[in-house]
Structure 1
Amino acid sequence: MNKSAKTAIIAGAITTALTLGQAHAAGSANTEKCYGVAKAGKNDCKAGPGTSCAGSSKVDAQGNAWMLVLKGSCEKIVGGSLAEK
């Protein structure tokens, strides 16, 4: 991989991270709850009965755990759902 390709990949990763950070900071106007896409322990809130909140999901893609994503992007993510599974 040449230097130009590496630079493009790094720039893309930084842009994605900043966009997701802005989504969380912007609040509900630009975001939506997306169920079934969070990694274990990385959900934003709710992971079923008996759980406290953020970081409480037990498995990857847990159907009742959600994370905030940019509005309109949830259903484009493999396994993403706007409703609890």
Structure 2
Amino acid sequence: MSANSRSVAAAVVAGAVATALSSVAAPASAYAQAKEKCYGISLKGQNDCKAGPGTTCAGTSTVDYQGNAWKLVPKGTCEEMTAPGDRHGSLTALERDNPQG
């Protein structure tokens, strides 16, 4: 194989790798953009992050449907989500079902 053929082959491989990487990155970005934080819908210990004062992050909610703990959900679905006791998801933290008050 000549040096010129090796250069062409290397360029083809590099192009294929770049194409493959961009096709993997695009869905990941679209996935991240297609989500929103929804407060008050996660079960105890199943929140994605933030569970109010005295907690750190994911999995730290201490009661079901804790109002100040959130879960990532598909964008546009949060406020339609329901939980027992006529509860609904919220795009902002809720006062209800918070263990500290």
TM-score of the aligned structures, taking structure 2 as reference length: 0.58
Question: Aligned-pair distance for 1:61?
Answer: 0.4
Which structure 1 residue ranges, 5 or more long, are not aligned?
1-21
Q: Greater CA radius of gyration, 1 or 2?
A: 2
Task: Give the aligned CA root-mean-square deviation in angstroms.
Answer: 1.9
> Paired residue for 1:84, among 77, 90, 93?
93
User: Deviations along 1:31-67, whole A, 9 cap, x unmatched?
Assistant: 0000000000000000001111000000110000000
Quote the sequence identity (%).
60
Matched residue, 1:38: 42
Matched, 1:66 2:70: yes
* Whole-angstrom CA distance in 2 between matches of 1:40 and 1:72: 23
Question: Aligned-pair distance for 1:26?
Answer: 1.8
Which structure 2 residue ranges, 5 or more long, are not aligned?
1-26, 83-87, 95-101
Aligned residues: 62
Within 5 Å, give how 1:1-16 maps onto structure 2. Answer: none
Moved over 3 A (4+): none
TM-score of the aligned structures, taking structure 1 as reference length: 0.68
1:41 maps to a residue whose letter is G
